[in-house]
Structures are given as structure tokens and as C-alpha cells.
Chain A
Amino acid sequence: MKRIRGLTVTLVAASLAAAACASPGAHGEVLVSTASSLADAFEALEVAFEAADPEVNVVLNLDGSSALREQILAGAPVDVFASADPANMDAIVAAGDTDGEALVFAGNRLEIAVPAGNPAAVAGLEEFARADLLIGLCAVGVPCGDYGRQALEKAGVVPSVDTDEPNVRALLTKIEAGELDAGIVYVTDVIALNGRVEGIVIPDEQNVLTEYQIATIADGPNPAGSTAFVNFVLSPEGRSILEEYGFVAP
């Protein structure tokens, strides 16, 4: 499914390529440290961007935003950072590691993910307090973990957590396998798994609107390439690809 969708995106992007003029002078490899929750959308962005700019090779470094932050703070040769929350981006900006301000390029919402068929019949966040259910969250410090806890707080629920997963993918793997009864993930993750997990809507008053930020890294190896890629993500084509994967406009 992903592949086919990527292909249609490629075709759309290719047809736009002539109009959306390729960035002059950009070439070589661009290393983009990308929050795990953005994985599918950024893979599609990569394909579309490389179709428009064949000189540039985008390489995605996928991990939890906090892990990516640590890598950048430790001086990893990264060109672009796409963070799933402002906190991790703020740390980079504060350290003076970005070229200028970080830009909000997308938003996301939370959803409860349950195994296909919802065997534990989870209806809402209230049930995260049940000790008899196997509940997973992302770990504290990981954006999906911090947002999930905010949502639970809004709902007034003290969760009975069975595991703090290091990133949203690890959490989803265990939910998909049916080993966890429920967890809090992004709307986009449920869409990406395409029926292999089910989403239970979290009402607006309990939900958290998350902000995705992107910035080019100061002293990155490929400034021209990174500027071109960030511009592409912020462009109307970039936005339409992001929306296709369930992200909302900022």
C-alpha cells in the first residue's frame, strides 16, 4: 500500500517538478533527522523531492525526537531536524545549533490505538486506569509520551502503565501484536498502519494538538541541500503530502 501511494505521489510530484523549479546549486546528500512518527510521510516527501531534484539524495535518520536531539547536541553531522514537539527543538535552538528559527510545518492529534478488533473493548482514556488491562505509553521525554500524559491529565486519569516504550513505533508493534490492550499514539500512526491497529478517538477537550517543527542545522554538511529540502516540506506540495498521511496544517 505504502509503495503504491508513494508511486502516485511521485507521479504528482514529477508533473509538478517543471513548474516548481528545482533549487539551483543543491546537490549531494542531505541527512534529515526525522521523528519516528513522521517516518511514512517523510519517506514520501523524500521520493517526491528527489524526483524534482535528482541531484539531491535525502537520507532519513529515523528515531525518537529526544534521541535525535541528543545526537545533534553531540555534534552529529545532521543537515535538517524535524522534531515531533517544540521541547526537543527548543533544546537545539537554545544550544545555537540551528540556522535561525525553527518553523512549524504540521500538526498532529492523539488517538488511542488498540489491537485490531479491540479485544479489550477500550472506549476511552478512562480505561487506562484499569490494572487488568495491559497499557503502554511512550516513555517520559519522548514527545508521544509527554503528550499522552498531558491528555491523561486532562481526562483526570492516573494510568496503570505496564511499559514505557522508547518510541511510538515500538509501542505500536506491541499493540499490533496484541500484547498490549491500548496505548496513546498519533492519529497519523493509526492511519499509517492501515487497519492493523484500530484508533479510538480522544475527544477534543482531552486531546492535545501537537506541533511539528523543522529547522536546518547550523554548520550542517550540506546547507544548500538542507534549505531546498526544508522549503519543499513547507511548500504546497509538501503540505499536501503531509495531509495525505493525516497531518493537519499548522
Chain B
Amino acid sequence: MTSKSTSPRRRQQPPIALVILAVAGIAVFIVPLIGLLARTPWRDLPALLTSDVVVDALRISFIASIGATAISAVLGVPLAWLLARVEFPGRSIVRGLVVLPLVLPPVVGGAALLFALGRRGIIGGPLHQMTGLVLPFSIWGVVIAATFVAMPFLVITVEGALRNLDPRFEGAAATLGAGRWTVLRRVTLPMIGPSLAAGLALAWARALGEFGATITFAGNLQGRTQTLPLAVFVALETDRGAAVALSLIMVVISLTVLIVLRERWWRPL
């Protein structure tokens, strides 16, 4: 094609090769979903969705994913701020540590948590002796495991946003009489708002889907530590219909939340 033939009309048509690859890309997401829908026992679905296993798993997953997101926000935003704004020795090592849960197999992460925070763990041991608290096999264990895998998403997103934020905005606020806390509350956080929301959404989604670290660290007990993914895994071996129903719930919940978030806050991304 010569450059002359690129009339405005023609330019609007995307290259065909790109479209084919993009459609193949969509297929990667859609094909498994079709498999799930094809196996869904629609007639039994109402009964399955209201069964004890499903209701319990929903409750645990709700608590754990929201809890993990909240902890990620409370700890992750200051950590992101530190990484973005304060130069300290070993900063690049800390940055590496933060993303480690992204590459580490979650099962390994769960085992590491067990060795650290378990009843016999280096921190969990003294904690157990002093307070009698046992983190594994409790909802706290589920929240901790989910936080471990979810927080990196928040830290990375928020750190990136902070690094892109012109520090002069904070400087300007200071010259106008705003103390550090006011600057953070009225300038920094609002200006990184969209990224913060995106980070929270990603962290929540990761926490909701968390499996490996949870089953390794927190175990699997219906009504106490069994989240939706754990329930799916167990049900796959005993009751495939229930497994499919549970998976369907996860898909519907996550898609709804992510789409709504994207429409509301996530648009600048």
C-alpha cells in the first residue's frame, strides 16, 4: 500500500493481522468461561447456590478479601510512599521483596508464612506462647495469606502513581501552609485517587482468587477457613456440580465488581 492510498476512510480500518491476534487474545479469556458455562448444572443451580458449603465459602471469601484489601491499604500506601519518596539504603532490595509474592508460587508463600507465623514459627511461636493466638487454621490465617499475595498489586500501583506525581504539587501545598498530613490528605491521595482505586481493586481481586497460600498456611475447613477457591478445589473431587456453581459465583462477583470499578473510578487508566 502506498502512502497516497491511506485515505482517512481507509486508515480507520485496523490492520487485519492485529484484529486476528486480538480476537485470539479474547479467546484466551472466553474459552475457559464457555467450558464452565457448558458444564453448569442449571437446574440444580438454585439449590447448589444456597447450600451450606457455598454460603459458608462466600462469607469467608467476603471477609478475607475485604480484610486483606483493607490491610493492604493501611500498610501498603505508606510503604508505597516510602519507596517512592524516601531514599534509604536497600530501597531496591525492598522493592524486590515487595514484588516477590507475584513470582513466588503461592504454595511456597504459604509454607513460608507457616514457618514464620505458625504455632512453631519464629514469630508465631512467641506470639502463641504470649497470647495463645494461633494464626493458621483461623480466619486470621486466611486474611494474612490473602494479604501476602494481594498487597504487591496495591504497592506497585500506588508507588508508580506517586513517582509520576510532580512533587511540586506537594511543595505548593506546603508553601500554602499545609502540614504533612494535610498535604497527604488533600493533595497527594486525591491526586493519585484513580491509581489508588485501581490498586485496591486489583488487590481485592487477587485476594478473592487466592488459593495456594491459603490452603498451605490457613488450611481448609468449611465455615472457618474454606474460601470460594478452596471450596471449588475440594468440590472438584467430590461434587463437580457444586464446583462449577462455586466457580460461576466467583466469575459473576469478580466481573461485576471489576466492571463497576472500571466504569466509576478507573477510567483514567
Contacts and interface: CB of A to CB of B under 8 A. Distances in A.
Interface of A: 64, 66-67, 69-70, 134, 136, 139-142, 161-166, 170, 173-174, 177-179
23 contacts: A66-B238, A67-B237, A70-B236, A70-B237, A70-B240, A134-B119, A136-B219, A140-B234, A141-B237, A141-B238, A142-B237, A161-B221, A163-B137, A163-B219, A163-B220, A163-B221, A165-B215, A166-B233, A170-B216, A177-B118, A177-B120, A178-B118, A179-B118
B134 interface: yes
Contacts of B136: 174, 179
Nearest to B218: A163
Contacts of B120: 177-179
A178 B221 CA distance: 18
Interface string B182-209: 0000000000000000000000000000
Contacts of B237: 64, 66-67, 69-70, 139, 141-142
Contacts of A165: 215, 219-220
Contacts, number: 66
Interface of B: 111, 114-115, 118-120, 134, 136-137, 215-216, 219-222, 224-226, 233-234, 236-238, 240
Chain B CB within 10 A, most for which of A64, A70, A179: A179
A177 B219 CA distance: 13
A142 B134 CA distance: 26
B111 A173 contact: yes
B221 A162 contact: yes
Closest 4 CB pairs of A and B: A163-B219, A141-B238, A66-B237, A178-B120
Nearest to B134: A134
A161 B111 CA distance: 20
A120 B238 CA distance: 32
A64 B215 CA distance: 15
A179 B117 CA distance: 10
Given A70-B237, A139-B237, A140-B238, A164 B221 contact: yes
Contacts of A136: 219
A166 B222 CA distance: 13
A62 to B, nearest CB: 14
A179 B216 CA distance: 11
Nearest to A181: B119
B129 to A, nearest CB: 13
B137 A162 contact: yes
A173 B226 CA distance: 19
Chain A CB within 10 A, most for which of B114, B220, B225: B220
A67 B111 CA distance: 22
A162 B120 CA distance: 17
A185 B269 CA distance: 51
A227 B145 CA distance: 45
Chain A CB within 10 A, most for which of B219, B233, B240: B219
Given A67-B237, A162-B137, 7 more contacts: A139-B220, A139-B234, A162-B221, A163-B219, A164-B234, A165-B215, A174-B136
Chain A CB within 10 A, most for which of B114, B215, B221, B240: B221
B145 to A, nearest CB: 13
B118 A164 contact: no
Nearest to B225: A163
Contacts of A163: 137, 219-221, 225
Contacts of A141: 234, 237-238
B234 A166 contact: yes
Contacts of B240: 70
A240 to B, nearest CB: 33
A178 B119 contact: yes
B215 A166 contact: yes
B123 to A, nearest CB: 14
Contacts of B219: 136, 162-165, 174
Contacts of A174: 114, 136, 219
Nearest to B117: A179
A164 B136 CA distance: 13
B118 A170 contact: no
Nearest to A119: B120
Nearest to B135: A179
Nearest to A66: B237
Nearest to A167: B237
Nearest to B221: A163
Nearest to A139: B234
A30 B242 CA distance: 33
Contacts of B225: 163
B37 to A, nearest CB: 17
Contacts of A164: 219-222, 226, 234
